[in-house]
């Protein structure tokens, strides 16, 4: 296999496309050479005159006198030219259409372009989906021919994609090979994959490895965040292993595992992203060993934040008071949970119904994400706390930022001077951007719907388990 280009503007891509065009013409018919339109596009592309190349390639791709394979190679030239002009999202949309068409003459040449775009666009641009359609051998060749950091990023994307598709063994195999800057988060996904396969020992090993890797960069805020995340997951793992049911509905408790869970919960930075969760979750350990005052102290501290959305912690606080013999305090706590969260539950139910309707559900979901992250006063009062809890995760925030990057690309495209202005290339790029923006907005709508529905299901479970 020829070497895969390292970036979308590498001379390797240009050379391979030139050879592919000649080959396509040779395969077409001896009496049908490549058209003047294709020759003009190829000449502009080789000269790296990207605006002229985009215009000429768009014309060649729709020129009926150009052989089919040459037209298809011109489609890739158009995509690459747009990428060089800074229109990376429109480039990705066009390259993805080529990569997912198994009969397309430029499909193999699209792989290095995808590998390059994977380095230039955020993970939420979803370059992994078209990449995942190539064979294992083709992808390994692509990884090997990239610079080390870029190759590892490609491995990370493919491993994460396998995880999200539920292919956990494949995810583990891919992610275990990731080294460098993304190794710690890769190991966290390895741990979660083992958890899905109900294997606690390799889960703990992967989390320990993630912590070790991330701790090697103590000055990096993202590394510290990953240490806290892996430590929190480890605490949950050991707590789950510590408490189990035996015969006659009795509960068996491992003091050693409880101690390990408690130690990990205490190790999470209380001022960090996961501090509040760790603070109230470790109350379970205190409850298990009868340390009621310590459990109440941790729970009250976690609940002291007026913006915190912790119905499970409020329910647990009432249960701890009941176990400690404070029956009146427990009763007040249970009534507070029922009174405080029934209206939230009703608001979530109405919102869930609204988010499954057609029409403007994408715009509605976008508004909710913006409200949760930037303008909380715009959110409905009854659901403000739960939406700020549910819709501020990194994936949603990054996807929101990506919609704004697409909008900025649309503005830039409309302001381009001739020869791009008014050309077929500009129209193709505009359609590609509009298509991608619609797809990303629909993706946000689905993510919001799933998160709201999950919060509703969790709240229903909490309310059903709360004594009345």
What is the per-residue pLDDT for 374?
97
Residue 272 lies in a domain: no
| Ranges 30-34, 263-267, 454-458: which has the least confidence | 30-34
How far apart (Å, rounded) are the C-alpha atoms in residues 135 and 137?
5
What is the per-residue pLDDT for 145?
87
Residue 134 lies in a domain: yes
Q: Return the structure tokens found at 101.
A: 């068409």
Tell me the pLDDT tens digit for each residue of 52-64.
999 999 999 999 9
Tell me the pLDDT tens digit for each residue of 364-418.
999 999 999 999 999 999 999 999 999 999 999 999 999 999 999 999 999 999 9
**Residue range 439-456: mean pLDDT, rounded:** 96
- The answer, yes or no, to whether the previous bond of 145 is cis (omega within 30 of 0) is no
Residue 39 lies in a domain: yes
Question: Which of 116, 146, 176 corresponds to the end of one domain?
Answer: 146
What CA–CA distances, in Å, run from 43 to 35, 216, 428? 12, 50, 21
What is the per-residue pLDDT for 193?
98
Q: Return the structure tokens found at 431.
A: 């359609």
Question: Which of 146, 173, 202 corresponds to the end of one domain?
Answer: 146
How far apart (Å, rounded) are the C-alpha atoms in residues 157 and 110?
17
Has residue 21 got a pLDDT over 50? no
Residue 220 lies in a domain: no
Q: What whole-number percentage of the chain has pLDDT above 70?
A: 91
Residue 277 lies in a domain: no
Has residue 9 got a pLDDT over 80? no
What is the per-residue pLDDT for 20?
42
How far apart (Å, rounded) are the C-alpha atoms in residues 275 and 285?
16
Has residue 468 got a pLDDT over 80? yes
Hey, how many other C-beta atoms are within 10 angstroms of the C-beta on 281? 23
Has residue 336 got a pLDDT over 70? yes
What is the per-residue pLDDT for 1?
32
What is the per-residue pLDDT for 360?
83
Q: Return the structure tokens found at 231.
A: 């430590």
Q: Return the structure tokens found at 303.
A: 């609940």
Tell me the pLDDT tens digit for each residue of 273-324.
999 999 999 999 999 889 999 999 999 999 998 888 999 999 999 999 999 9
What is the per-residue pLDDT for 19?
39
Domain assignment of residue 60, given as a range: 1-146
Q: Which of 52, 41, 50 is nearest to 18 (CA)?
A: 41
What is the per-residue pLDDT for 6?
37
For the chain, the domain total comes to 2
Angle at 264 between CA 262 and CA 270, to 5 degrees: 95
Q: How would you label 348-385 residue by residue, b for 16+ Cβ within 10 Å and e otherwise?
A: beebeeebeeeeebbeebbebbebbbeeeeebeebbbb
Give the residues across from 244 on adjacent strands: 252
Q: In this structure, are residues 125 and 114 in contact, taking their beta carbons and an 8 Å threshold?
A: no
How far apart (Å, rounded) are the C-alpha atoms in residues 262 and 31?
79
Q: What whole-number percentage of the chain has pLDDT above 90?
A: 84
User: What rounded mean pLDDT belongs to the chain?
Assistant: 90
Q: Which one is predicted more confidently, 71 or 289? A: 71
Residue 170 lies in a domain: no
pLDDT confidence tier of residue 31, bands split at 50, 70 and 90: very low
How far apart (Å, rounded) are the C-alpha atoms in residues 319 and 336?
13
What is the per-residue pLDDT for 245?
64
Residue 152 lies in a domain: no
**Residue range 134-152: mean pLDDT, rounded:** 91
Tell me the pLDDT tens digit for each residue of 201-226.
999 999 999 999 999 999 999 999 99
How far apart (Å, rounded) are the C-alpha atoms in residues 192 and 163?
9
Has residue 28 got a pLDDT over 80? no
How far apart (Å, rounded) are the C-alpha atoms in residues 208 and 184?
10
What is the per-residue pLDDT for 10?
45
Question: Which of 146, 171, 206 corresponds to the end of one domain?
Answer: 146
Has residue 18 got a pLDDT over 80? no
> How many alpha carbons lie under 13 Å from residue 307 in its C-beta half-sphere?
7
Residue 280 lies in a domain: no
**Residue range 345-369: mean pLDDT, rounded:** 89
Map the chain to HEC letters.
Answer: CCCCCCCCCCHHHHHHHHHHHHHHHHHHCCCCCCCHHHHHHHHHHHCCCHHHHHHHHHHHHCCCCCCHHHHHHHHHHHHHHHHHCCCHHHHHHHHHHHHCCCCCCCHHHHHHHHHHHHHHCCHHHCCHHHHCCCCHHHHHHHHHCCCHHHHHHHHHHHHHHHHHCCCHHHHHHHHCCCCHHHHHHHHHHHHHHHHHCCCHHHHHHHHHHHHHHHHCCCCCHHHHHHHHHHHHHHHHHHHHHHEEECHHHCEEECHHHHHHHHHHHHHCCCCCCCHHHHHHHCHHHHHHCCCHHHHHHHHHHHHCCCCCCCHHHHHHHHHHHHHCCCHHHHHHHHHHHHHHHHHHHHHHHHHHHHHCCCCCHHHHHHHHHHHHHCCHHHCCHHHHHHHHHHCCCHHHHHHHHHHHHHHHHHHHHHCCCCCCCCCHHHHHHHHHHHHHHHHHHHHHHHHHHHHHHHHHHHHHHHHHCCCC
């Amino acid at each position: 296999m020829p070497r895969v280009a390292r970036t979308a503007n590498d001379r390797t891509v240009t050379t391979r496309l030139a050879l592919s065009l000649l080959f396509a013409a040779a395969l077409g018919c001896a009496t049908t050479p490549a058209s003047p339109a294709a020759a003009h596009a190829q000449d502009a592309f080789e000269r790296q005159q990207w605006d002229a190349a985009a215009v000429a390639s768009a014309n060649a791709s729709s020129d009926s006198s150009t052989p089919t394979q040459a037209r298809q190679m011109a489609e890739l030239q158009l995509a690459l030219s747009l990428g060089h002009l800074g229109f990376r999202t429109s480039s990705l949309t066009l390259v993805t259409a080529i990569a997912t068409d198994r009969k397309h003459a430029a499909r193999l040449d699209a792989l290095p372009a995808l590998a390059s775009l994977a380095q230039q666009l955020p993970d939420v641009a979803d370059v992994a989906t078209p990449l995942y359609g190539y064979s294992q051998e083709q992808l390994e060749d692509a990884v090997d021919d990239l610079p080390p950091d870029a190759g590892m990023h490609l491995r990370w994307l493919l491993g994460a994609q396998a995880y999200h598709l539920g292919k956990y063994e494949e995810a583990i195999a891919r992610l275990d090979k990731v080294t460098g800057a993304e190794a710690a988060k890769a190991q966290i996904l390895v741990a979660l994959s083992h958890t899905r396969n109900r294997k606690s020992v390799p889960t703990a090993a992967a989390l320990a490895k993630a912590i070790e890797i991330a701790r090697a960069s103590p000055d990096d805020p993202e590394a510290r965040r990953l240490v806290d995340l892996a430590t929190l997951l480890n605490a949950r793992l050991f707590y789950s292993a510590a408490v189990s049911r035996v015969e006659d509905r009795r509960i068996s408790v491992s003091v050693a595992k409880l101690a390990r869970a408690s130690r990990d919960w205490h190790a999470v930075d209380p001022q960090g992203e996961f501090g509040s969760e760790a603070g109230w979750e470790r109350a379970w350990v205190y409850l298990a060993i009868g340390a009621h005052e310590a459990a109440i102290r941790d729970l009250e501290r976690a609940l002291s934040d007026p913006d915190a959305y912790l119905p499970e912690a409020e329910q647990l606080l009432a249960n701890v008071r009941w176990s400690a013999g404070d029956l009146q305090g427990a009763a007040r706590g249970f009534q507070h949970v029922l009174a405080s969260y029934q209206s939230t539950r009703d608001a979530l139910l109405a919102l869930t119904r609204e988010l499954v309707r057609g029409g403007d559900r994408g715009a509605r979901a976008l508004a909710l994400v913006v409200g949760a992250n930037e303008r909380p006063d715009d959110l409905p009062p009854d659901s403000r706390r739960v939406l700020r809890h549910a819709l501020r995760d990194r994936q949603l925030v990054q996807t929101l930022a990506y919609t704004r990057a697409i909008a900025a690309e649309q503005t830039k495209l409309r302001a381009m001077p001739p020869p791009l202005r008014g050309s077929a290339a500009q129209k193709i790029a505009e359609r590609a951007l509009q298509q991608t923006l619609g797809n990303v907005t629909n993706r946000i709508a689905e993510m919001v719907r799933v998160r709201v529905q999950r919060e509703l299901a969790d709240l229903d479970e909490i309310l059903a388990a709360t004594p009345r």
